[in-house]
Amino acid sequence: MTLGEAKVGSTVVVDRIDGDSAYKRRIMDMGITKGTELFIRKVAPLGDPVEITVRGYELSVRKNDAECVLVR
């Protein structure tokens, strides 16, 4: 499943990140790396962006970015 498909209130673990190397690097610079736990805090009314808690801070991720992060 992708980060964009995860339900609000759930905790997921990053399995892998899809995309080209520059895109992957940008996502990883935000602290989203393989094996990291992410808590889905909330989703905006129209579904974009998704607010998550990663490594102790809140982060808003655009829906198209969230679709490239595969989680379990």
Report the first-to-last Cα separation within the chain, whole angstroms: 7
Q: What is the pLDDT of residues 3-33, one digit of tens each?
A: 888 899 999 999 999 988 888 898 999 899 9
Give pLDDT tens digits for 32-59: 999 999 999 998 888 789 999 999 999 9
Based on C-alpha coordinates, what's the Rg of the chain? 11
Three-state SS at 66: helix
pTM: 0.86
Domain 3-71 matching CATH 3.30.43.10: the answer reads no
Map out the domains of the chain as residue ranges.
3-71
Q: How far apart are alpha carbons 9 and 6 in whole angstroms? A: 9
